[in-house]
A and B are shown apart, each in its own frame.
Chain A
Amino acid sequence: MANVVLKDLRKSYGNVDVIKGVDLTINDGEFCVFVGPSGCGKSTLLRMIAGLEDITGGSLAIGDKVVNEVQPKDRGVAMVFQSYAIFPHMTVRENVEFGLTIAKATKAEKEAKVAEAARILQMEHLLDRRPSQLSGGQRQRVAIGRAIVRKPEVFLFDEPLSNLDASLRMDMRMEIGKLHKDLRATMIYVTHDQVEAMTLADKIVVLRDGIVQQIGAPMDLYHHPANLFVAGFIGSPSMNFLDVEVKGRDGDALVVSNGALDPVGVPSTLEATTGTRLKLGIRPQYLRPSTDTQAGKLHGTVTLTERLGSETVVNLRLTDDSALIAALGEDAIFDRGRNVSLSFDPTRAHLFFAE
């Protein structure tokens, strides 16, 4: 068991900086998820922890030992790749016991450990098959099996579920969560699927262009996003942003409005003077449309209603011609072209400086 501490970690390819100074502490036994858009450096950061990429600057410690120059195999890490990376010419058993074969373990030891891994992952019946005879989910299970037989202190996952279809992804997601609870190992998990991040993580690290945007527990990030980027990235459907203008200050709150929004006081600590242009963020779930056009402070017209079963997503065009999305829990009926007003709880809205 080990913690992982990154101090001002940097990576550049030639003169292209990819990771621009990351400070992060992952506690022993924690499930940490890196999220961010494509190309932001998630994989690179993970591969630096694994030892597959050289570290350009800063320090990386696993279990209180600086491992910048330590070979991957001596870092006590195991990695599961997006493309599974299981050996096509070996049976499932040979794949799972690969690390032990390399370490020249005895036959009995291999058998015992493979049996245990197979039991944990419920793949006893697959052991004698070849990878070509497995489904995607089963292959990923084999890759995870290969990782767990070595009892690593840190598990690294690079988008392990992105090649799977939606329902299988949900199953595997739950299994990985369960695995974490069973093994109590430190796990670092890369994904660009924020649902995976929200459901699995103890700690989410949001990355953008090689810079950490925010670190925190999932609901922390959801309710208190540090900036516009995190606010827009976490949550589905993503947060609505309205261009607003500050009209004045009212105690803790800034009074803001725009062409479609009647003046409203939003609690905020931003230092903004009257006339400043800000972004007002409101999650679709916290908007309540009403056919009574005077009931809420936002005004617009319904352009599309999508029923997803568990929720109904209403697309609107506001009177200042910007678009807005509201997600309603119940099967509410809002016909196209209907004029509505929307109300919301100002304490659940966020103000950001425009970027």
Chain B
Amino acid sequence: MASKLTQSNRAGWLFALPGFGLMVVFIILPFFFAISLSFTNQRLISPNPTEWVGLANYRQLLGMGMITLDAVTDESGQIVRDDTGAPTYPRLREYTRNNPDYPHLDGMKQWFSFGRGGEARTFVLARDLVFLTAVKNTVVFVLVVAPVQGGLALVLALLINQKLRGINIYRTIYFMPVVVSIVVVSLLWRFIYDGNNGLLNNILDFLSFGYFEPVNWLGNPKTAFGSIIGMSIWQAVGFHMVIWLSGLQTISPTLYEAAEIEGSSKWQTFRYVTWPGLRNTAILVLIVITMQAFGLFAQIDVMTNGGPLDSTQTIVFQAVERGYGKQDISGGSAISVLLFLIVLSISLFQRWLTRERT
């Protein structure tokens, strides 16, 4: 009976069909769909026929330009300064709106600018400011969350990996946020971050004996994204703690005993025994956190919707917002494809960085 099941291909495929079919319909097909849609001007609902537009979507998303302008001078050659004493520059609109001399800058807006010694200034322009902000935010998110969450999870795992009475209670506590749906967690944290009566403001107020000025954490462009980073680190740290824990438990206890007899201090033991033994776990944790961090969406969707002032835009949020919010399914697809390429190249790079050196 058993051998028949394993040998008969037809039975095997039949059993695999439900799962495999769902994967084809919801993962594999959409993947190729998205790639081809991203080269068209398809909209979610539209009376017009779909047209092949080549790389136009990508050009729109990634279009960037640079222009260096000299400060405005008056007739005598003196630099015209504004009230704060900063030099003034010609209006960028004159270059980016129907200026036949600068066709490549047409339709762009200022992203940021920097001085170049002297009084000249370079302006970096972008066709799609929101998308670039989303990319920047996502990259910041990954760069902060990967080391902080990974490191915090390791510290927790080291603390938890002891034979103490009641240690399981702590394991449960740290792991609990992972089990709760991210949407629920985000809703709860909206109350915590609330500007008027939020828990965080109340605690800070209490700790500073009333000197702390309440902050509208999610309503202020300066604090919104940081608040989301903090909450995201807290939420998934337990998951990575468990991965570290499993890595810690593969290290043979006799290695620790050998180190102890040799007189190794706690730190030396960590450095020479624990950390090298966690090498493979570290790679796994790093890759998983990076992947998850690039997918940042639910927190944004529930807590800020990308605002205030686009300060919490992220790549995935933009993909969804364009595709469904603005019904620009081809633009959303192009963002998804770009995200795929970014994540792919980063994980290839990480694999290369952490490869087994012979």
| Any A CB within 8 A of the CB of B226 | no
Residues of A near B2 (CB, < 8 A) are: none
Bound-state CA distance A83–B264 (Å) is 19
Bound-state CA distance A253–B66 (Å) is 114
Q: By the criterion CB–CB under 8 Å, are B254 and A150 in contact?
A: no
| Any A CB within 8 A of the CB of B263 | yes
Q: With A83-B252, A85-B254 in contact, do A72 and B277 touch (Cβ < 8 Å)? A: no
Bound-state CA distance A130–B279 (Å) is 16
Of B115-123, B184-192, B268-276, which stretch is located at the interface?
A: B268-276
| Any A CB within 8 A of the CB of B262 | yes
Residues of B near A150 (CB, < 8 A) are: 262
Q: Mark A77-95, 1 if CB is under 8 A from B, else 0.
A: 1110101011111100000
Bound-state CA distance A81–B255 (Å) is 10
CB closest chain-B residue, reference A75: B261
Q: By the criterion CB–CB under 8 Å, are B276 and A73 in contact?
A: no
Q: With A98-B272, A102-B268 in contact, do A87 and B260 touch (Cβ < 8 Å)? A: no
Q: With A87-B255, A87-B273 in contact, do A52 and B263 touch (Cβ < 8 Å)? A: no
| Any B CB within 8 A of the CB of A299 | no
Q: How far is the CB of A2 from chain B (nearest CB, A)?
A: 16
Bound-state CA distance A77–B273 (Å) is 20
| Any B CB within 8 A of the CB of A50 | yes
Q: By the criterion CB–CB under 8 Å, are A73 and B262 in contact?
A: yes
Classify chain B: how many residues form its interface, as a range: 10 to 19
Q: How far is the CB of B176 from chain A (nearest CB, A)?
A: 32
| Any B CB within 8 A of the CB of A99 | yes
| Any A CB within 8 A of the CB of B283 | no
Residues of B near A78 (CB, < 8 A) are: 261-262
Q: With A89-B277, A89-B279, A98-B272 in contact, do A81 and B264 touch (Cβ < 8 Å)? A: no
Residues of B near A102 (CB, < 8 A) are: 259, 262-265, 268, 272
Bound-state CA distance A83–B252 (Å) is 10
Q: How far is the CB of B283 from chain A (nearest CB, A)?
A: 14
Q: By the criterion CB–CB under 8 Å, are B279 and A73 in contact?
A: no
| Any B CB within 8 A of the CB of A110 | no
Residues of A near B261 (CB, < 8 A) are: 50-52, 72-73, 77-79
Residues of B near A73 (CB, < 8 A) are: 260-264
| Any A CB within 8 A of the CB of B257 | yes
Q: With A52-B260, A102-B264 in contact, do A81 and B254 touch (Cβ < 8 Å)? A: yes
| Any B CB within 8 A of the CB of A103 | yes
Q: By the criterion CB–CB under 8 Å, are B258 and A89 in contact?
A: no
Residues of B near A87 (CB, < 8 A) are: 255, 258, 272-273, 276
Within 56-79 of A, Cβ neighbours of B (below 8 Å) are at 71-74, 77-79
Bound-state CA distance A88–B260 (Å) is 17
Q: Mark B63-80, 1 if CB is under 8 A from A, else 0.
A: 000000000000000000
Q: By the criterion CB–CB under 8 Å, are A103 and B263 in contact?
A: yes
Q: By the criterion CB–CB under 8 Å, are A72 and B260 in contact?
A: yes
Q: With A87-B276, A89-B279 in contact, do A98 and B254 touch (Cβ < 8 Å)? A: no
CB closest chain-B residue, reference A156: B261
CB closest chain-B residue, reference A149: B262
CB closest chain-A residue, reference B260: A72
Give the most central of B262, B272, B277: most A CB within 10 Å. Answer: B262
Bound-state CA distance A81–B252 (Å) is 12
Q: How far is the CB of A74 from chain B (nearest CB, A)?
A: 8
Residues of B near A50 (CB, < 8 A) are: 261
Q: Mark A93-115, 1 if CB is under 8 A from B, else 0.
A: 00000110111000000000000
Residues of B near A101 (CB, < 8 A) are: 272
Within 109-141 of B, Cβ neighbours of A (below 8 Å) are at none
Q: By the criterion CB–CB under 8 Å, are B276 and A89 in contact?
A: yes
Identify the B interface with A (CB < 8 A).
252, 254-255, 257-265, 268, 272-273, 276-277, 279
Cross-chain pairs A/B with CB under 8 angstroms, 10 sampled: A73-B261, A73-B263, A73-B264, A77-B261, A79-B257, A79-B258, A81-B258, A89-B276, A89-B277, A102-B272
Identify the A interface with B (CB < 8 A).
50-52, 71-74, 77-79, 81, 83, 85-90, 98-99, 101-103, 146, 150
Top 8 closest pairs, chain A to chain B, by CB: A73-B263, A89-B276, A85-B258, A85-B254, A99-B262, A72-B261, A102-B264, A79-B261
